[in-house]
Structure 1
Amino acid sequence: MRIIYLILFIIAGLLLTWLWLDWSKGRQVIHSIPSGSSQYKTENVVSGNETLPWAGNREVEELLRKYDTPVLMASYHASLPDPILWEAYNVALAADRLAGTVLKPGEIFSQNKLLGPYTKARGYRDGPMFAGNKIIPSEGGGVCKIASVLYNVAILANLEIIERYPHSLTVPYVPPGQDATVAYGTYDFRFRNNTTSPLVIWADTYGDTLYIAFYGREKPPRVTWHHEILGKTESWTEYKYNPSLPPGTEKVIFPGQDGITVRSWVTIEQPNGKIIRKDLGISRYQASPCLVERGPLIKK
């Protein structure tokens, strides 16, 4: 029986590795950077005039009436291509726990405090996590998508950011400079409700898309993201011998990606027309290697 269990364990490990590599090939892209340009800007992808997926939801309407927060301050959505393992499950679980959160004026929101720890004991499952320039399975993997979308909504709502960290690699669901990572006990995402009224948060997932919105009593000024690429680090290629490949052939296992350093800021347009600039710091993303397997040499 031990031999059978060992064989099944090895097969499961090989299957997981194959799925992981296949997923990684599709995930390693840099999001929305115009080619040939050192600067770019992005704006809210869900405008205040656009109907959110939970429009007409009685629970949401009652919550907004209870706290007298009828104004959609800001919203953002992000789609995750080809989620693997339990990534989508973790995001949906965290979104469900986030929905209905109410912050008093001056109160600080902490994702780790509200949603963590991201363990199986708390209902989370294995999903992807960055470790340097590699991607590994980890309990709660995927909840950084919550942090990234929250970061964008908080910025667009003109709230005070207390704590935010970029990923070690770029992510495919928000532009470089607009992501946020969390790791319980190490990295948190925190912001302050610096308005004079309660702030209601609602979140939900539809398919592989996460939506988050903030509601209050006053519409914030218009906020626009700006980014400047300060530098790039080219990816490199690493080769590994695979005797099972046909002679003279190569197979790309992991495409790799360039590293990038980005300076980010926002411009805030006040009702009187005055433009204020708010610097958001520099985000540095590592390069990762392109991994290629090579078959035996062709014998002459």
Structure 2
Amino acid sequence: MNWKKVLLIVFAAVSLAALYFAIHSSLHYMAKHPVPEVNPPEQRPAHSQFFWENDEKFLKLRARYQTPVRMAAFQTTLPDPLPGEEYNVGLAAEMLKGTVVQREGIFSMNQTLGPRTRERGFREGPAYAGGRVIRVIGGGICKISTTLYNVAVLANLEIMERRPHGMLVPYVPPGQDATVSYGTTDFKFRNTSGQPIMIWAEKRNTTLYMVFYGRAPAPRVIWHHRVLSRREMPVIRRYNSRLPAGEEKIVQPGAEGMKIKNWVMISRANGKTERKELGIDHYQPMPQIIESGK
């Protein structure tokens, strides 16, 4: 046999073996480390009746704007809120409720609520900055923008401007948050429903409720997410002279980083369904900070 043919046969055999090994190894890795599919989270369906729906002020505004139908609703519970955070969310909800967005009108959260300053009643609350939680005037107001984002998505409206937080937040699933900062980062949607929409927001205890009212129901919208990658949460340990020897204190819980793909499935009354892509979000890991005595 020609030596060139022998070399070609040997080369082909080695290549096939290498290809088999690569495929086998990849399948083995994928079986042990699958990219997870995040199940659709609880959609927080509308209550049979919200606690404000018999209030005189609400009934008058609903009649004035002719918005008798509950289009979409969402609620956000604040985990262990700081006093300023809870206060700011309640104040912003009062400013927001009763806002009407006309057909094809554009809603801007920053324009609607205005600057968050002490003079306008806002207090210090938590905010993200540089991988840490800090306190700023108006901090915590992102619970409003996040809840607005979820109701707007569930009402099948056009999202014009939305930016996720730099790190994961504890009050909604990854991919469903929206951050704002007056003068730089806004949340906006366009009312593409063909009807006027009245926004109603109320905070009771540590839960923020929000509903869009119109003249016809929105289609059924279900969130979906797929985690594309994760990044491990770093741990930072530091000495605290005020702690007794051997005692530790977690001063910042921390969170993993994540890259996540988001979309919704829309089911219409005529039986048709469609998929709407909502993009890919990137979250940086938040370090866990642990202080300890000697």
Please tell me the TM-score bracket, short chain as reference: 0.7 to 0.9
Does 2:263 align with 1:265? yes
User: 112, 120, 125: which is aligned to 1:114?
Assistant: 112
Letter paired with 1:39? V
Distance 2:248 2:121 in 1: 41
Kindly provide the amino acid, as one letter, of the partner of residue 213 in structure 1.
Answer: V
2:259 partner SS: strand
Structure with bigger gyration radius: 2
1:253 aligns with 2:259: no
Distance of 2:238 and 2:172 partners within structure 1 = 32
Quick check: 1:43–1:224 contact (8 Å CA) kept in 2?
Answer: no
1:233/1:259 contact within 8 Å kept: yes
Q: TM-score, normalised by structure 2?
A: 0.84
Q: For 2:122 and 2:266, how far apart are their aligned partners in 1?
A: 38
Aligned-pair Cα RMSD in Å: 1.8
> Is the 8 Å Cα contact of residues 148 and 180 (structure 1) preserved in structure 2?
yes
**Of 44, 53, 56, which residue of structure 2 is paired with 1:55?**
53
Matched, 1:69 2:44: no
SS in 2 for 1:293: strand
Look up the SS of the partner of 1:41 in the other structure.
coil
| Structure 1 alignment gaps of length 5 or more | 1-35
1:287 partner amino acid: P
How many Å apart are 1:168 and its aligned residue?
1.2
**Aligned match of 2:165 in 156, 167, 176?**
167
Match of 2:214 in 1: 216
How far apart are the structure 2 equivalents of 1:242 and 1:203? 42
Q: Report if aligned partners of 1:43, 1:223 keep a CA contact under 8 Å in 2.
A: no
The DSSP-based 3-state class of the residue aligned with 1:91 is: helix
**What is the CA distance between 1:40 and its match in structure 2?**
1.9
Corresponding position: 1:241 with 2:244: no
Identity of aligned residues (%): 48
**Shift in Å at residue 248 of structure 1?**
5.0
Rounded to whole Å, the distance in 1 between the matches of 2:292 and 2:99 is: 52
Kindly provide the CA deviation profile for residues 87-125 of structure 1, in whole angstroms up to 9, marking residues without a partner as x. 111111100010110111110000000102111122211
The alignment's TM-score, normalised by the length of structure 1, stands at 0.82
134, 148, 155: which one aligns with 2:132: 134
| Amino acid of the structure 1 residue aligned with 2:37 | S
Give 1:86 deviation, angstroms: 0.9
* Segment of structure 1 superposing worse, 57-66 or 145-154: 57-66
82, 88, 94: which is aligned to 1:96? 94
Cα deviation code 1:152-196 (max 9, x no counterpart):
100111111000010112112111111101001111000011122
Distance 2:192 2:291 in 1: 53
Partner in structure 2 of residue 84 of structure 1? 82
Q: In the alignment, what sits opposite 2:103?
A: 105
Q: 2: distance between equivalents of 1:227 and 1:99?
A: 30
Q: Does 1:42 align with 2:41?
A: yes
